[in-house]
Amino acid sequence: MSGASMHAIVRRRYGTPDVLSYEEIPRPLAGEHDVLVRVCAAGASIGDHLIVTGKPYVVRPAIGGLIRPGHLVPGSAMAGRVEAAGAKVTTLRPGDEVFGETTTGAFAEYVVVRADRLAPKPRNQSFEEAAATPWAVTPVQALRDAGVVKAGHRVVINGASGGVGSWAVQIARVFGAHVTAVCSTRNVARMRALGADDVIDYTTTDFVTGGPRFDVMLDTVGNRSLLDCRRVLVPTGTFVSISGGSSGLRWMRRLAAMILISSVSTRKLRPFIVSLNQKDLLVLKELVEAGKIKPAIDRRYALRDTADALRHVGEGHAQGQTVIQV
């Protein structure tokens, strides 16, 4: 397959989505433990926006380069068909329909992905729906592993209407929790449709002041102080953060404060970073095929319009998931 080309979204420096360009570049080759996937759809998330902008600066070493990006093509969540498999891949073969998440390269017609970061596409999903599903790994791990959510727990999700939050509402319900979603007025009905037991409209009600206390708070937006987050918890409750804000210095200060508070309090404050793996993709596949969870796709964009998609998610007002049609 050497010498073949493909269309892709390319960036050679950090910046706003304006730095992205639609280009024809060489098609990648799969290593012995990888597969080459013909991408049918990809997801565009706030995480992808962060990787393109390179902010906060503290994340740059982890995403490939301090001064300039280490990878030409961004994009992580995707779904498609296996085009070719590496010599040591035994679980997948050309033609298989798959979904999963990689660290880079999904905003393209072809992407190379480690075989252990892919799973068979849910039978009852389109490629677009499947491309939005890997983001549900984050709330699965955050609620199950960090929050240790059990049946009967009261769980509040701050930022419930976004790409991860809308999955979190459903996942918490699967775990048997009583779920309270915090969102804006325009999303109240949608949160109820996704299974939230209670919905708090933050434009009219402050969920921190008065009201119920929760066993677990999952924060996807990072817009409340740690004092506020502790205040909504029962004495043995757990706060799980998957957002540290836009400033690297603020993120580090917040992380240090969470560790310190947790060391002297019965309330636990836990930062969280997702671990990409096939096992949890298979968990999602089972839940999707059983009809227990489903994506809430907000908008669809063509590959050449990926910059517009990232502008949309970067505004922080996405209602569910945003997908790229390849």
Report the pLDDT value the prediction gives residue 43, as an integer from 0 to 100.
96
Q: For residue 198, is it within any domain? A: yes
The residue from 271, 287, 305 where one domain ends is 271
Q: For residue 155, is it within any domain? A: yes
The answer on 141 and 113 residing in a single domain is no
The answer on 140 and 111 residing in a single domain is no
Domain hosting residue 75, numbered range = 5-121+296-325
The answer on 214 and 88 residing in a single domain is no
Q: For residue 281, is it within any domain? A: no
The answer on 178 and 56 residing in a single domain is no
**Over the stretch 280-298, which tens digit does the pLDDT of each residue have?**
999 999 999 999 999 999 9
Q: For residue 288, is it within any domain? A: no
The answer on 261 and 143 residing in a single domain is yes
The answer on 195 and 162 residing in a single domain is yes
The answer on 241 and 161 residing in a single domain is yes
Question: Could you tell me the sign of the dihedral formed by the alpha carbons of 156, 157, 159, 162, in that order?
Answer: negative
Q: For residue 307, is it within any domain? A: yes
Report the pLDDT value the prediction gives residue 2, as an integer from 0 to 100.
54
Q: Token pair of 6, please?
A: 């493909």
The answer on 202 and 149 residing in a single domain is yes
Q: For residue 226, is it within any domain? A: yes
Give the Cα separation of 224 and 222 in Å (integer).
Answer: 6
Chain-centroid distance, C-alpha 140: 11
Question: Could you tell me the sign of the dihedral formed by the alpha carbons of 165, 169, 171, 172, in that order?
Answer: positive
Residues 308, 301 contacting (CB under 8 angstroms): yes
Residues 254, 226 contacting (CB under 8 angstroms): yes
Q: How many domains does the chain have?
A: 2
Q: For residue 117, is it within any domain? A: yes
The CATH number covering residue 61 comes to: 3.90.180.10
Residue segments in the chain with a per-residue pLDDT below the cut of 50 = 1, 246-247
Nearest Cα residue to 320 out of 114, 44, 29:
44
CA dihedral 238, 219, 61, 263 (to 10 degrees): -20
Nearest Cα residue to 306 out of 131, 55, 136:
131
Report the pLDDT value the prediction gives residue 212, as an integer from 0 to 100.
87
Chain-centroid distance, C-alpha 213: 26
Q: For residue 214, is it within any domain? A: yes
The CATH number covering residue 224 comes to: 3.40.50.720
- Residue 324 phi/psi, 5-degree rounding, is -110, 125
The answer on 244 and 303 residing in a single domain is no
Q: Please, where are the H alpha helices in the chain? A: 46-53, 127-132, 137-141, 165-174, 188-193, 226-231, 248-264, 278-289, 306-314
Q: Could you tell me the CA-to-CA distances from 314 to 32, 49, 217, 245, 249 in Å, in that order?
A: 36, 6, 24, 13, 20
The answer on 234 and 158 residing in a single domain is yes
Report the pLDDT value the prediction gives residue 54, as an integer from 0 to 100.
83
The answer on 111 and 211 residing in a single domain is no
**Over the stretch 128-177, which tens digit does the pLDDT of each residue have?**
999 999 999 999 999 999 999 999 999 999 999 988 999 999 999 999 99
The answer on 241 and 202 residing in a single domain is yes
Residues 6+ apart with CB under 8 A from 305: none
Rg (CA), the chain: 20
**Over the stretch 16-31, which tens digit does the pLDDT of each residue have?**
999 999 999 999 999 9
Report the pLDDT value the prediction gives residue 247, as an integer from 0 to 100.
47
- E strand map for the chain: 5-10, 21-26, 34-44, 77-85, 97-101, 110-114, 118-120, 154-158, 178-183, 198-201, 214-219, 233-241, 268-271, 297-302, 321-325
Q: Could you tell me the CA-to-CA distances from 123 to 107, 118, 129, 152, 285 in Å, in that order?
A: 23, 15, 11, 31, 8
